[in-house]
């Protein structure tokens, strides 16, 4: 994991996500659990990691259990951002078996999704270790879960790109396609943005060719996004830019190609797959009754 400072996840953001997820899963209650357990049976639930992973979502899983039943007792947690080995118990909760079962799927879902993102991000960051290149996420996130998913990227050592369209100027291919029809080239687009965007925002523009890189430089772009270029072409673009702008590389970068992009001189590499294609981490919840203890009838 990177030693960067992790932006704390807002507690209200966590509560909102948890409330929506529980409303989806428990809208009509848990008919199976209600049929099998008419009374409280004290139990212990342990969520276990089954693969090496960078953990993300413990704070969210805690909120799930406590939202279902505030009387549940969380007796062990592993800190978010920790790299764990297989068979590690990352969260242990005790209390009414009915509450544990109702919380199980939502809590594990959050942990699998967010830990998957953090783990994939950590792999990308490890692949460019030794270079000054930073790994960025994108806005290709699950609707409604962007804050959680971008937090998971940070836990994996990555850096967040824009949270929303209001966070920065990024002139992309569709903007340029329309502007070209009006006679405005890449340089002109940069000048328009500089003149009309809120003061202080950096101007980033996408370039697909070396000619567009030259136009971006003429427009005094702060960041030039090299889109879908090969490492060899990125190297040529970096030589052309000569540190007059920061260089971001984007488009189809994989764990197999990311080091070559870093070696070519990219300052940033943005990877949409961090949030839209990260494999779910392998975790599950193991449940056991607490022997010799029985709760009151309810």
Inter-CA distances, 53 with 47, 74, 124, 152, Å: 14, 22, 13, 12
Q: What pLDDT does 292 receive?
A: 60
Residue given tokens 């990308």 in the structure block:
124
Q: What pLDDT does 298 receive?
A: 36
pTM of the full structure: 0.94
- DSSP conformation class of 250: E
CB-count exposure of residue 205 (10 Å: 0-12, 13-18, 19+): buried
Q: What pLDDT does 266 receive?
A: 97
Q: Is 105 a catalytic residue?
A: yes
Q: Residue 270 in contact with residue 248, Cβ under 8 Å?
A: yes
Q: What pLDDT does 293 receive?
A: 52
Closest residue by Cα to residue 258 from 158, 117, 146: 158
Catalytic residue among 15, 73, 129, 172: 172
DSSP string, 165-180: TTS-EEE-HHHHHHHH
Q: Is 206 a catalytic residue?
A: yes
Per DSSP bridges, beta strands 223-227 and 203-207 are parallel
Q: For the chain, where do the domains classified as CATH 3.90.1170.20 start and end?
A: 11-124+280-289
CATH number of 11-124+280-289: 3.90.1170.20
Q: Residue 123 in contact with residue 254, Cβ under 8 Å?
A: no
Q: What pLDDT does 1 receive?
A: 38
Q: What pLDDT does 59 receive?
A: 96
Catalytic residue among 140, 191, 194, 208: 140
Q: Is 227 a catalytic residue?
A: yes
Catalytic residue among 204, 206, 212, 215: 206
**Could you list the mean pLDDT of each consecutive 10-residue stretch along the chain, which spans 298 residues?**
70 97 96 96 98 98 98 96 97 98 98 98 98 97 96 97 93 96 96 93 96 97 97 97 97 96 98 97 96 50
Q: Residue 215 in contact with residue 186, Cβ under 8 Å?
A: yes
Catalytic residue among 149, 204, 227, 267: 227
Q: For the chain, where do the domains classified as CATH 3.20.20.70 start and end?
A: 128-276
- In CATH, the architecture of 128-276 is Alpha-Beta Barrel (3.20)
Backbone angles phi, psi at 251, to 5 degrees: 110, 95
Catalytic residue among 69, 89, 94, 105: 105
């Amino acid at each position: 994991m990177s030693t960067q400072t992790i932006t704390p996840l807002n507690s209200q953001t966590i509560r909102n996500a948890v409330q929506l997820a529980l409303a989806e899963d428990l809208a009509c209650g848990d008919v199976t659990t209600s049929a099998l357990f008419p009374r409280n049976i004290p139990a212990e639930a342990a969520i276990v990691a089954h693969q090496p992973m960078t953990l993300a979502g413990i704070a969210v899983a805690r909120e799930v259990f406590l939202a279902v039943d505030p009387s549940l007792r969380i007796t062990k947690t592993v800190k978010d951002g920790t790299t764990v080995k297989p068979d590690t118990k990352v969260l242990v909760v005790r209390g009414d078996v009915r509450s544990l079962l109702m919380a199980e799927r939502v809590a594990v879902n959050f942990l699998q999704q967010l830990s998957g993102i953090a783990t994939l991000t950590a792999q990308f960051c490890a692949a460019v270790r030794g270079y000054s290149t930073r790994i960025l996420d994108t806005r290709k996130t699950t609707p409604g879960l962007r804050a959680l998913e971008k937090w998971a990227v940070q836990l994996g050592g990555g850096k967040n790109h824009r949270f929303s369209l209001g966070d920065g100027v990024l002139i992309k291919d569709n903007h340029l396609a329309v502007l070209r029809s009006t006679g405005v080239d890449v340089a002109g687009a940069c000048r328009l943005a500089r003149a009309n965007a809120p003061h202080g925002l950096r101007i980033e523009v996408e370039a697909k060719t070396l000619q567009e890189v030259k136009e971006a430089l003429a427009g005094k772009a702060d960041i030039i996004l090299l889109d879908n270029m090969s490492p060899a072409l990125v190297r040529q673009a970096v030589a052309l830019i000569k540190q007059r702008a920061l260089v971001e590389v984007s488009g189809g970068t994989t764990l197999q190609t990311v080091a070559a992009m870093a070696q070519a001189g990219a300052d940033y590499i943005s990877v949409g797959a961090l949030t839209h294609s990260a494999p779910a981490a392998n975790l599950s919840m193991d449940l056991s009754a607490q022997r010799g203890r029985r709760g009151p009838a309810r």
